[in-house]
Amino acid sequence: MLAMRTLGKTGITVSPLCFGGNVFGWTADEAQSFRLLDRFVDAGFNFIDTADIYSSWVPGHQGGESETILGKWLKQVGNREKVVIATKVGKPMGEGKSGLKSHYIQQAVDASLQRLQTDYIDLYYTHEDDPSTPLEETLQALSDLVKTGKVRSLGASNYTGTRLTQAMDAAKKLGVAGFEVLQPGYNLYDREEYERDLLPVVQAHGLAVAPFYALAAGFLTGKYRTQADAEKSVRGARVVETYLNPRGLLILQKLDEVADRYVATPGQVAIAWLLSQPGIVAPIASATTDKQLDELLFAARLKLDKDALHELTMVSAPADSQ
């Protein structure tokens, strides 16, 4: 039986793994996206993450493709109340559509609701900070969405610890709904920013955390081990350039050792480590094949002992903490 988790103060119950919808309409076409979503839900999982901007980076796309596919799937299967949908606002959508001003948030949420073919969003993130807009304006607009029932709970992504603290303080001062969930980049390799800058804020305010890049863009699966491996995917060159270094190779070596002990894969161990960290409720990870998805689903059930967790934590410690 899958152990579900409560998403912080939202009271929403979610699976310990969130399906990353950035692949819908990009590396997974509509039919494959439907199959993956069916498989995900049939296995007892319910948390799905997307954004209005997905997948605007694909030639010929404008953004909204992921939400559109997810909306078609929701309508086809008729299980809206059984899944938890997270989407985001703020990244550039073209034609001046970006940022976190009140009027744009109202416009963007209605567009997302239409694409998702639903009348509410479970978790609505600000996709990135907007220093040009007063935090009070953004928070008031978001709170209004909660009051009207268009949104159940609010989250923030890509904020610094300082700005996140300011946002939490501003919401309290205004007496409006504030952020309850944080979506930062965080994984076994990319630890320093979250642990140094964001974790203290998470703990001070009781935020739930659903990190993206749970597998460091695939590096922690062990898929990229040499320069030649850069050709293995559309993002392989960037992954190799970012992570293929002495520290990255040490982390892969330790992942291999622990994976052998547990008859698991390096990626499964990396997610299991992440799930044991303070504040982490549901890492976000993507899959484009049934095999990849099945590996992720197993990872959410994998429990590492204290020795394995300690070994992984020590070998992956950021340079300035070693």
The whole-angstrom separation of Cα 44 and Cα 193 is 32
The whole-angstrom separation of Cα 74 and Cα 83 is 9
Phi, psi at residue 119, to the nearest 5°?
-105, 5
In DSSP notation, 250-285 reads HHHHHHHHHHHHHT--HHHHHHHHHHTSTTB---EE
Catalytic positions: 54
Question: Which residues, 6 or more positions from 309, have their beta carbon under 8 angstroms from its beta carbon?
Answer: 273, 276
Instruction: Compute the radius of gyration of the chain from its Cα atoms.
Output: 19
22-to-71, 87, 178, 288, 316 alpha-carbon distances in Å:
14, 11, 26, 10, 27
